[in-house]
Structure 1
Amino acid sequence: MPKSKVRKKTDYTINPASRTPVKVKAGPSSAIYVGIMLGLMLLGLAWLIVFYIGAQSEYGDEGRALHWMSQLGAWNFLIGFALMVVGLLMTMRWR
């Protein structure tokens, strides 16, 4: 019985240009950036908590301190979540 040919496999080589280390130009984020990032996320959370606890009322809104917030209605959700999303988007640039 004839012997089958053994195929020579080509070696996989990585392009040496792609293995060169790339120096990161920017250093670590400043404490101000991190503070603003965390502050926006917490401010958005606080906005929603205050809206749920203080601004919603079953008995009327005229005498409440957060009358302006209750007038915004469902826009409070957009404001709170937008603040949190902006803070989360800032985490992508955080070093």
Structure 2
Amino acid sequence: MPESSSRKKAAYIPPPAKSSGPKVNPPWFVPVMLTLMVVGLLWVVVTYLTQSQYPIPGISQWNLLIGFVFIIAGFGMTTRWR
């Protein structure tokens, strides 16, 4: 009976090396993140203190939504902070 031929394995090639350093945020990232959260907080406080007349007159309770959008945008940036 003939002997089966042996299979040749391909040479092991290691995966490419990953970047050596950790990724960092640009210098403007943290100030923008904190500014969005503070502006949103101040917007909501002004809306409550002026009984929804300001910061933008005439849109009443929509001022709260605008303030919360600023706050949520700031917190959304915290998920990308390194």
TM-score range relative to shorter protein: 0.5 to 0.7
1:72 shift after superposition: 1.3
For 1:81 and 1:26, locate their aligned partners in 2 and report how far apart those are by CA, in whole Å.
32
Equivalent pairs counted in the alignment come to 67
Structure-to-structure mapping, 1:8-87, within 5 angstroms: 23=19, 27-53=23-49, 55-56=50-51, 66=54, 69-87=56-74
TM-score (norm: length of structure 1)? 0.57
Taking a change above 3 Å as real, the CA distance of residues 40 and 24 of structure 1, as seen in their structure-2 partners, is farther
Taking a change above 3 Å as real, the CA distance of residues 29 and 70 of structure 1, as seen in their structure-2 partners, is same
Identity of counterpart residues, as a percentage? 36
Q: Deviations over 1:34-70 (max 9, x none)?
A: 00001000100000111111x328xxx7xxxx4x624
TM-score (norm: length of structure 2)? 0.65
5+ residue gaps in structure 1? 1-20
For 2:20 and 2:64, locate their aligned partners in 1 and report how far apart those are by CA, in whole Å.
38
Instruction: Choose between structure 1 and 2: higher helix proportion.
Output: 1
Cα pair 1:56 1:70 within 8 Å, conserved = no
Taking a change above 3 Å as real, the CA distance of residues 71 and 26 of structure 1, as seen in their structure-2 partners, is farther
Q: Relative contact order, CA 8 A, sep 6+: which one is greater? A: 1
For 2:20 and 2:71, locate their aligned partners in 1 and report how far apart those are by CA, in whole Å.
28
